[in-house]
Structure formats: structure tokens, C-alpha cells
Structure 1
Amino acid sequence: MASNEKARSAAEIVAAEWSAALSYGWDLINPAVPRAAYRHPSLRVLWPMVSHGVLYLSRCTQWPWTSDVGTAYPLAKGGYRVRRDSDNTLLGEVDTTEEAYELIAATLPEGCGPAVDGTPDDL
């Protein structure tokens, strides 16, 4: 398979997963969360997944997913704590969903590009 076919395939896989994440209701996640992330072109090309009401973003489409992209965890008091799990870095605490995803977009790993169809070994 040519590399451009692989890239297109990965892009299609990511787009399909975003379509699903954007359709989720309150039973899975606050619908504003995937919408806020999707507004950022640099985040829109990453693999989205939802677990326990949290949106995770990965640079690959297969497990084990990467953990070097920030994640916004909702706080009981309101707002979000934004952390990067790969090195346990607290990126900040913010008041709004929009601010959380602006912070995540601003702190992407160097060279972070579209998700690859594969595992971290394929990056």
C-alpha cells in the first residue's frame, strides 16, 4: 500500500471516530467537550476516544494509544484540570471547555501530526 493510501485510510478512520464522538449524548460525555476539541484543526486529526465522561486524544488509532496529548478532566467545582499522562505534567486548570482545548492544542508534542493507523511503534 502506498504511503498516501495509508494516510488517507488513517484520516478516514479518525473522521469516522470523530463522527461517533460528536454524536454522543450526556450518557457518555458532555456533548460540548468533543465539539470544543473538534474546533481545533490540530486536535481534529487525532484519534478521539471517550471513557468515563472524558475525551482522550491519541496520535495512533490502535491500542496502546499514546498518552502524550493533554487530557481535560472535569472538576467537581467546575472547570477542568488539564494533564499530560505520559509524564504526569499538570498543564493547568481552566474554567471553560474552550479554554481546556485551547491549552491542549497549544501544548501538543513537537511534531504532532495526524494520527497514524497503528500503534505508538508506528509513529
Structure 2
Amino acid sequence: MIIPARSEESRNAAEIVAAEWSAVLSYGMDRINPAVPRAAYQHPSLRELWLMVSHGVLYLSRCTRWPWTSDVGTAYPQVAGGYRVRRASDKTLLGEVDTVEAAYKLIAATLPEGCGPAVDGTPDDL
């Protein structure tokens, strides 16, 4: 029996998210400090979210398609060291921390109410 290859459209959200995590975790310093996605990946609640990298910053979303959600905190590295953690949806400063591990612990602790695994869709599908 020949089993046809699964197309991107037939993959479920968990598979899509897992594949993107695998890709981002393999990025080198030219894209992002590898410690950043590794720190985020340590938190099961963050590991279920869609991720993307832009300008060396890791962004997390509750959906896999644009426009992504902006209600999950983002850790921005500071020139003097440490991280500033902000939530774009309401422009809230969640805190300033010394380490990348502390930044993602804070992000995991401040996830939106009812935040669950990312959905394969847009914010309208939440």
C-alpha cells in the first residue's frame, strides 16, 4: 500500500509548530543567539506556541498565520545586558531581568488567560 506524502495543508497545528521549533532551534548566531530559543523551549506552555525570529528577537504567537497575535510577551536584549520583557498588545512592560532564562520564565508566567496550543489560523480563529 502506498501512503501519499502529507501536504503542508493537511498537517495539524501541533505538527506545524513543532517543525518551526525544530528549525529555529537549529539557527546559528547569524539569526539569533541560540540560547534564546533554547530558554523558551524549556517551558512547555511556550513550546506549544508559534514562533518567529526577526532582527535577533524571538516572537511567540497563539496562531500560525499572519497577522500573529501580540498578546504574548517578548524578550528584548538590552545593550547593557539583561532583557526587557514587553507585551505589544497593550504596551505593558512585564519586567526587566538579568538572564534569558528569567525572561522566558516571566513570559511563561504572564501568558494570556486561556492561552493554549497555537491554532493553525489567524487571531480570528482563536
Measured against the shorter chain, the TM-score band is over 0.9
Alignment of 1:67-106 (within 5 A): 67-106=70-109
Return the index of the structure with the highest Cα Rg: 2
Determine the structure 2 residue equivalent to 1:109.
112
- Give the letter for the 2:119 counterpart: V
**Mapped pair 1:29 → 2:46:** no
How far, CA to CA, are the matches of 2:32 and 2:92 in structure 1? Answer: 24
- Give the letter for the 2:26 counterpart: S
How far, CA to CA, are the matches of 1:55 and 1:85 in structure 2? Answer: 13
How far, CA to CA, are the matches of 1:28 and 1:77 in structure 2? Answer: 20
Q: Identity percentage over the alignment?
A: 85
1:27 offset after TM fit, Å?
0.2
- Give the letter for the 2:29 counterpart: W
- Give the letter for the 2:99 counterpart: T
More helix by share: 1
How far, CA to CA, are the matches of 2:98 and 2:24 in structure 1? Answer: 22
1:5-57 alpha-carbon deviations (Å, 9 max, x no partner): x9x70000000000011000100000000000000000000001000000000
How far, CA to CA, are the matches of 2:24 and 2:109 in structure 1? Answer: 22
* Number of residue equivalences: 117
**Mapped pair 1:57 → 2:36:** no
Aligned-residue RMSD, C-alpha = 1.1
- Where does the alignment leave 5 or more consecutive residues of structure 1 unmatched? 1-5
- Give the letter for the 1:97 counterpart: V
- Where does the alignment leave 5 or more consecutive residues of structure 2 unmatched? 1-8
SS, match of residue 64 in structure 2:
coil
- Give the letter for the 1:28 counterpart: R
